[in-house]
Structure 1
Amino acid sequence: MCASRIDEYGLLADGRSGALVSRDGSVDWWCPARFDGPSVFARLLDNDTGGHWYIRPAGDFDVERRYLDETLVLRTVFTTGDGSVAVTDGLALDAEARGHDVGRYPPGLLLREVQGLSGSVPMVMSYAPRFEYGRVRAHLLRHGETILARATGTTLGMTASVQVECRDVDASATFTVEAGQRETFSLSYSPTYHQPEPVAADVSAALADTVEAWHSWTGQHAYPGLYGSLVRHSAMVLQGLTYQLSGAVVAAATTSVPVTPEGGQSYDYRYVWLRDFNLTLRALSIAACPNEAARLFQWMAEAIGVVGLEPIPIMVGVEGERDLSERRIDVLDGYVEAGPVLLGNDAWTQQQHDILGQIVDAAWLLRKSLDPMPDDVRRLLRDITEQAAQTWREPDAGVWEIRERVRHNLTSKVSCWLALDRAVRFGSVLGGPAELRRWAAIRDEIRTAVLRQGWNDRVGAYTGAFDSDQLDASVLSLPLIGFIPADDPRMLATVERIERELTVDGLVRRWPGEPAGFVICSFWLSQCHALAGNLDRAVDLFEGIVSRTNDLGLFAEQIDPGTGRQVGNFPQAFSHIGLISAAWRLTTAQVETYSPNRGATS
């Protein structure tokens, strides 16, 4: 069978890594050491070479699935002509971890439990680990109750309650499940040279502990606004995309899933973009996760270090690594055979001014927890403010990381304005009177330049760059950060033009000709309408977008308006951040006074 469409996967997470499980019960992606570590299953990127582990009925079946309430533990119900079975999958969390410690020290266990619900259902299991993105196959060896596979410094230990047949590098099983019967499977990961031999897990107990650990985390967060269940779920997705040892949130769990059928535009998203940093903090704060927000800010400050006037890295690894040099993996054909498969991301070498304002604005958001402000944070924010003051006139790669050229991107200029504006608001905490006057003067100079050179009379809108005639959905962010009122006539004209020329069925393309809608841009459009007082339109857009998640409430980066399919790396933190922010914007705009029956807060 072929690997599934990207939007047919579910996410499992343990605070260190993420696994993707298809609707037909196949684990097709898992990099157990950490999000950006080497894979042991990568069928997502190559049907034959990548490796997989599936458990499913032997015959035809229908599928229904859901996450167990407020967890990332997945329950898939297969219904066949012979009966029905449920397969429950989870990445184990530490049995002792509770609350904010959830995911800090995961045991490295992939858990699978098969439960007979009715009738008598023949089942099949296929286990084919492949190490280092399919480069290495390991011999499977029995060690007591465990089937071991060792290669490239990694040990996997698979246990099963059914009889398993080993065939050198693969293993399989056939078994029948009666109503009320349970069969269990586990797969342990450990670095070969640092851990003891893996032992068989009590799968049912470990799953129960994992559910309890998730509940202990969600129980600490009480979001008060509209669309509560959607916001809590998206916050949990962000938690699932968090490398808990550092607090870093990766952009997505995957690499090299293209946004077009022919491939080419596919990158490794298993890193941390500092441009997303402020939005992530705001989303976590909105979702009532203040401890996670504060920890993420602390990690960011440590990862950046002392910068002076050197360019700040636009992205880092989950433990703060700087060098993310890109390389191809030619042994894998790529998602739907549309390569290339890339590890690393050369965007780390780009200069993007938009990150400057995001960091200072994040500090402003957390100013109460930064009072008194630590000296290292003060130095960092001063350096960033100075960098914005001195570099705002320079072109850059911009928020969309265009690799072919640099230009005077509008949102990059506005982000420099944002850095200076928030620094001025901090007042004497950051600078003396002369510095504050100079920062305020440069801030006002940037604003004047953006309003003059960013507006295009011929287009009748703010465009993506100075003196450009190309629409760009990134300018929808201008009212969201307070640069310009959403009901300003020119901003209203810009929104109207973007809706008319870049939007199809509520999905907003970033620029003319882009084939798919960019999910967070669609949420930005909803927020612009809410801020402008067009609340019914804002709600309609929001509810139309959230109806396009997959059956598990997960978003990729983009959605094809023609097919409705999601495309790009998955699940995408940026998209879920957009959902949380838009839900809160609708809440603060008091949408319920216009539509009292909309947006359940359960």
Structure 2
Amino acid sequence: MADLADSGTSAHAYPPIEEYGVVGNLETCALVGPNGSIDWFPFPHLESSTLFAAILDADRGGQFRLAPTAEFETDRRYVDDTNVLETKFRTDDGTATVTDFMPPVDRTDHPREVLYRKVSCSRGTVDFDVEFEPTFDYGRAEANVESVDEGVLAEADGERVLLETPIDVEITGDRLVGDLTLEAGDEAWFLLRCAATENATTDPEAALEETKAYWSDWGHSCDAGDDCAFEGPWHDYVVRSQLVLKLLTHAESGAIAAAPTASLPEEIGGIRNWDYRYNWLRDAGFTVQALLNLGTGDEATDYFDWFMDLCQAADPEAIQPLYGLHGESDLDERELDHFEGYRGSSPVRIGNEAAEQLQHDIYGELLLAVDEMCRHGRALTDGEWARIRAIVEYVRDIWEEPDAGIWEVRGGDRHFVHSKVLCWAALDRGLAIAHHGDHEGPLQEWQATRERVRADVLEHGYDEDRETFVQAYETDALDATALLLPVLGFLPFDDDRIQGTIGSIETQLVEDDVFVRRYDGDDGLPGEEGSFVLCSCWLVDALALSGRVDDAQSRFENLLEYLNPLGLMAEEIDPESGAHLGNYPQAFSHIGIVNSALYLGYANGNETPGPPPMGVRLGEPNVDLGE
């Protein structure tokens, strides 16, 4: 385990973020630490309050720990290409494995709201400590824990969970403790039933085998000799990223969470702690591209239908930057003052007030996703086109206004270059969708506005003296989002202004040839943050599509070395220590990995399963309707 600096509490109570594994059932997720402790588990849904939250407060958050009594070393892995997690403990006296999983909710053979923990011994004898301390409503509700015929029942404020345990236990207040001794060949099961399913029969071994089969059947696969778009030394990391994205997908709605956690810090001890258990519409375009090229068309369609329904339910001006996974719009941000935060990082926030911000880039992201679906064969209904047309018309009205931007700065609205370019993209993709789908609309007006936006960005968003695009009008700050300009088709990759911008970002935002910071300059918040994994992927993309393929591949392979041994990545990386920062695992980071592998594959001559991805449609000029 990595050595942690003192943060005002016991450092060993907080494992490094990157040492956690994650399991889930397509409704919620649990984080399992290297010490056999489940330290994060919202229920019944990902955005619900928690049963365990020790990752945010080691003393008050609650946990469910199965770990050897003696000192141990740990190895961890997912079973093949599944989301079944194995933690192997080695002591001087023996070896034992804890297997954690939840059956996906669309498997009807077994109760869907059960967290399974299997303990098996393969060598010698291993004594286990068992600790079960559920906390309800982020530790704010007083729990009652008592023995019942079926096991141990914990309840508070009408919520209840049942732990089926094979051992005798001692209950002290709201905490259960016990011990378990296993010899080679022995196994034991702990079943945490998280709903009123006490009378449901369960065959744990059958549930395990069916869960393995579900994930193995679902994931991306290709045989030797197949033309795979993701061929390369990173192929297995792409498959794991796909499995992460599926794990963050809500089965009922199709929405994809940005991460399964809340308030993991971007700076240890700092205040940049946010709740990411929601879906950001800004992720739409590149998410759809990743899912479609991975061959997961059903998931791409479900996600597409979900956000199109959101657009239908609200006028364009009322569309929010983010929503709950069931489409909830009220994401009121609150602080949990009774939690100390991960390693003393406070405040601990739940909810996210960014839902109330103006972020004009979301309209471009939505149109990118629609265009991507159409290029893969999706025919729009008249109703869908009407929604899209209304969005493009709205963009014509608001593109000149300032906004909070993609990074959700809290220092006031500005004229962000990225937001302007995404408004341009909304108009550009609207024209393309209308042109190729033979849809009606005021296309001449859209084209005229598109050219006005482009001219405005080139005049006010480009610094001719420094030969680079800047973050916002009337500022010197750089922003990694400028790496997306050629990917979006705003300018070609060989344009001197694009190459100058890439060079400026390499000089000012890149550290150790791997890590890319989001931006420089003030963002209205104190403290620092790590490098943003997605921005590092954007640089890989820009280099690969600029013809610097060897450079791009080297940077990508170096970045992948910071994946944890399970293939998981947080939002950010500390360039000095290599530690993961921010919420974890992060969907955007894994989307970046998938798309960078796709672009590198394309640059190396691999065939894509559908039309060329964004950024390599260089032979397709922007739709021009003439005068």
What TM-score do you get using the length of structure 2 for normalisation?
0.89
- What is the CA–CA distance in structure 2 between the aligned matches of 1:535 and 1:369, rounded to whole Å? 27
C-alpha RMSD of matched pairs (Å): 2.0
- Residues 382 and 430, structure 1, Cα contact 8 Å, conserved in 2: no
The 3-state SS of whatever aligns with 1:141 is strand
- Residues 509 and 518, structure 1, Cα contact 8 Å, conserved in 2: yes
Q: In structure 1, which of residues 135, 138, 144 is the aligned counterpart of residue 140 of structure 2?
A: 135
**Residue identity opposite 1:512 in structure 2:** D
**Residue identity opposite 2:455 in structure 1:** T
- What is the CA–CA distance in structure 1 between the aligned matches of 2:108 and 2:376, rounded to whole Å? 25
Aligned to 2:203: 202
Aligned to 1:123: 128
Matches within 5 A, 1:55-204: 55-94=66-105, 96=107, 107-190=112-195, 195-197=196-198, 199=200, 201-204=202-205
Which region of structure 1 is more displaced relative to structure 2, 493-502 or 18-27? 493-502
How far 1:230 moved relative to its partner? 1.4
Taking structure 1 as reference, are residues 218 and 579 closer, same or farther at Cα in structure 2, changes over 3 Å only?
Answer: same
Which region of structure 1 is more displaced relative to structure 2, 105-114 or 563-572? 105-114
- What is the CA–CA distance in structure 2 between the aligned matches of 1:95 and 1:261, rounded to whole Å? 38
Taking structure 1 as reference, are residues 317 and 138 closer, same or farther at Cα in structure 2, changes over 3 Å only?
Answer: same
The 3-state SS of whatever aligns with 1:40 is strand
How far 1:591 moved relative to its partner? 6.5
Aligned to 1:599: none
- Residues 336 and 347, structure 2, Cα contact 8 Å, conserved in 1: yes
**Identity over the aligned pairs, expressed in percent?**
37
Q: In structure 1, which of residues 509, 512, 523 is the aligned counterpart of residue 520 of structure 2?
A: 512
- What is the CA–CA distance in structure 2 between the aligned matches of 1:61 and 1:291, rounded to whole Å? 43
- What is the CA–CA distance in structure 1 between the aligned matches of 2:191 and 2:201, rounded to whole Å? 7
Taking structure 1 as reference, are residues 17 and 488 closer, same or farther at Cα in structure 2, changes over 3 Å only?
Answer: same
- What is the CA–CA distance in structure 1 between the aligned matches of 2:257 and 2:271, rounded to whole Å? 22
- What is the CA–CA distance in structure 2 between the aligned matches of 1:454 and 1:556, rounded to whole Å? 31
Q: In structure 1, which of residues 328, 351, 365 is the aligned counterpart of residue 358 of structure 2?
A: 351
- The answer to whether 1:13 aligns with 2:31 is no
Which region of structure 1 is more displaced relative to structure 2, 331-340 or 15-24? 331-340
**Residue identity opposite 1:545 in structure 2:** L
- What is the CA–CA distance in structure 2 between the aligned matches of 1:281 and 1:412, rounded to whole Å? 20
Structure 2 gap ranges (5+):
1-11, 522-527, 608-627
Taking structure 1 as reference, are residues 145 and 95 closer, same or farther at Cα in structure 2, changes over 3 Å only?
Answer: farther
- The answer to whether 1:4 aligns with 2:5 is no
Which region of structure 1 is more displaced relative to structure 2, 119-128 or 132-141? 132-141
- The answer to whether 1:40 aligns with 2:51 is yes
- What is the CA–CA distance in structure 2 between the aligned matches of 1:203 and 1:54, rounded to whole Å? 19
Aligned to 1:244: 251
- Residues 273 and 345, structure 2, Cα contact 8 Å, conserved in 1: no
- The answer to whether 1:361 aligns with 2:368 is yes
**Residue identity opposite 2:364 in structure 1:** G
Which region of structure 1 is more displaced relative to structure 2, 375-384 or 362-371? 362-371
How far 1:200 moved relative to its partner? 6.5
**Residue identity opposite 2:506 in structure 1:** E
How far 1:32 moved relative to its partner? 1.9
Taking structure 1 as reference, are residues 379 and 143 closer, same or farther at Cα in structure 2, changes over 3 Å only?
Answer: same
- Residues 140 and 168, structure 1, Cα contact 8 Å, conserved in 2: yes
- What is the CA–CA distance in structure 2 between the aligned matches of 1:128 and 1:188, rounded to whole Å? 14
**Residue identity opposite 2:212 in structure 1:** V
- Residues 106 and 251, structure 2, Cα contact 8 Å, conserved in 1: no
**Residue identity opposite 1:170 in structure 2:** R
- What is the CA–CA distance in structure 2 between the aligned matches of 1:107 and 1:307, rounded to whole Å? 33
Taking structure 1 as reference, are residues 109 and 522 closer, same or farther at Cα in structure 2, changes over 3 Å only?
Answer: same
The 3-state SS of whatever aligns with 1:142 is strand
How far 1:156 moved relative to its partner? 0.6
Deviations 1:550-577 (A, max 9, x none): 1111111100000100100111000000
- The answer to whether 1:468 aligns with 2:501 is no
Taking structure 1 as reference, are residues 392 and 548 closer, same or farther at Cα in structure 2, changes over 3 Å only?
Answer: same
What TM-score do you get using the length of structure 1 for normalisation?
0.93
- The answer to whether 1:338 aligns with 2:345 is yes
How far 1:106 moved relative to its partner? 6.5
- Residues 145 and 200, structure 1, Cα contact 8 Å, conserved in 2: no
- What is the CA–CA distance in structure 2 between the aligned matches of 1:561 and 1:49, rounded to whole Å? 31
Kindly tell me the number of residue pairs found equivalent between the two proteins: 582
- The answer to whether 1:553 aligns with 2:567 is yes
How far 1:306 moved relative to its partner? 4.2
How far 1:145 moved relative to its partner? 2.9
**Residue identity opposite 2:584 in structure 1:** F
Aligned to 1:596: none
Matches within 5 A, 1:299-378: 299-367=306-374, 372-378=379-385
Aligned to 1:26: 37
- Residues 220 and 294, structure 2, Cα contact 8 Å, conserved in 1: no
Q: In structure 1, which of residues 223, 230, 234 is the aligned counterpart of residue 237 of structure 2?
A: 230
Deviations 1:204-235 (A, max 9, x none): 22222211111221268895422322111101
Deviations 1:296-347 (A, max 9, x none): 1101111232444524211111111111111111221111121111111000
- Residues 480 and 517, structure 2, Cα contact 8 Å, conserved in 1: yes
- What is the CA–CA distance in structure 2 between the aligned matches of 1:556 and 1:420, rounded to whole Å? 33
**Residue identity opposite 1:460 in structure 2:** E
Aligned to 1:598: none
Deviations 1:352-374 (A, max 9, x none): 11011111121111115775421
The 3-state SS of whatever aligns with 1:242 is coil
